[in-house]
């Protein structure tokens, strides 16, 4: 047992001493160590894909951009994307409460600002945005990702309503905040902008960060 722990600690030390010199040890050491101890960042990216990148990105949260180099998993497409606000990680939530989300939308339409803004997207626009190429990473198991053909949708299908929190939130706080408003999915942008998706969204809402006080 002690031998296994020693080997793992050695792996942690090597991980935060990246040969490329782009790993910020002062910023990343603690979180990288935690994720390596949980065994969620221990794989190698290859042309066929990256089997652990999704779980590792969720574990590192808002440090993914800064610390993925420490574990050798920086995805080239994400790294070369023009701005963090155009990159995001998306996840389904386990226990959505549609009635709560709709009630909050009704309140927000009539009451003073509640710390967020509401985005309303017609289904055609939402699906068009979700089909667009970009640095977006799906985390965990998902449902409903086979987006329906717009031509097959009834004209009465309600639009997607989403909440954009005004302030920056870490990925874990974004998840918690979206659970608290009854959302069924969330999209966390890599500039720390948080979007919570309502029950009528077919995909993952808007593909660009629109948090009023959380910009690049």
For the segment 132-149, what is each residue's pLDDT rounded down to a tens digit? 555 666 665 555 444 555
Q: How many angstroms separate the CA atoms of 121 and 164, rounded?
A: 13
Give the pLDDT score at 38.
83
Query: Residues 6 or more apart from 87 whose CB is under 8 A from it?
Result: 65, 78, 81, 134, 135, 136, 137, 189, 190
> Could you tell me the pTM of the whole model?
0.70
Q: Give CA separation, 206 vs 133, 139, 187, in Å.
A: 13, 17, 9
> 110 pLDDT band (50/70/90 cuts)?
low
Higher-confidence position of 51 and 161: 161
Q: What percent of the chain has pLDDT over 90?
A: 26
Residue 42, Cα to own-chain centre: how many angstroms? Answer: 20
Task: Determine the 3-state secondary structure of 89 from DSSP.
Answer: strand
Task: Determine the 3-state secondary structure of 79 from DSSP.
Answer: helix
Q: Do 161 and 118 touch, CB atoms closer than 8 A?
A: yes
Ordered alpha helix ranges (H), 111-213: 123-131, 171-180
Q: Is the pLDDT of residue 193 over 60?
A: yes
Q: Do 129 and 207 touch, CB atoms closer than 8 A?
A: yes
The winner for highest mean pLDDT among 46-60, 128-142, 153-167, 177-191 is: 177-191
Q: Is the pLDDT of residue 178 over 60?
A: yes
pLDDT tens digits, residue range 10-51?
444 455 554 445 788 888 999 899 888 888 888 877 666 677
Give the pLDDT score at 107.
86
Q: Is the pLDDT of residue 213 over 60?
A: yes
Q: How many angstroms separate the CA atoms of 22 and 74, rounded?
A: 11
Least confident of 1-15, 124-138, 143-157, 169-183: 1-15
Give the tokens for residue 115. 């710390």
Give the tokens for residue 194. 């948080």
Q: Do 186 and 196 touch, CB atoms closer than 8 A?
A: yes
Q: Is the pLDDT of residue 153 over 90?
A: no
């Amino acid at each position: 047992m002690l031998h296994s722990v020693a080997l793992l600690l050695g792996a942690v030390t090597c991980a935060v001493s990246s040969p490329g010199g782009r790993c910020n040890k002062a910023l990343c050491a603690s979180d990288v160590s935690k994720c390596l101890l949980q065994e969620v960042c221990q794989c190698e990216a290859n042309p066929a894909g990256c089997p652990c990148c999704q779980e590792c990105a969720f574990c590192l949260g808002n440090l993914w951009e800064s610390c993925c180099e420490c574990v050798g998993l920086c995805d080239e497409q994400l790294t070369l994307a023009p701005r963090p606000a155009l990159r995001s990680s998306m996840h389904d939530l386990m226990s959505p409460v549609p009635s709560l989300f709709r009630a909050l939308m009704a309140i927000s339409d009539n009451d003073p600002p509640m710390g967020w803004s509401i985005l309303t997207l017609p289904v055609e626009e939402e699906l068009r945005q979700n089909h667009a190429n970009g640095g977006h990473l799906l985390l965990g198991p998902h449902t409903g990702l086979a987006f329906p053909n717009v031509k097959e949708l009834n004209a009465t299908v309600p639009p997607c309503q989403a909440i954009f929190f005004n302030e920056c939130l870490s990925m874990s706080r974004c998840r918690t905040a979206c659970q608290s408003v009854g959302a069924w999915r969330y999209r966390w942008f890599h500039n720390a902008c948080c979007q919570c998706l309502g029950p009528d969204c077919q995909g993952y809402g808007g593909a660009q960060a629109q948090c009023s006080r959380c910009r690049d």
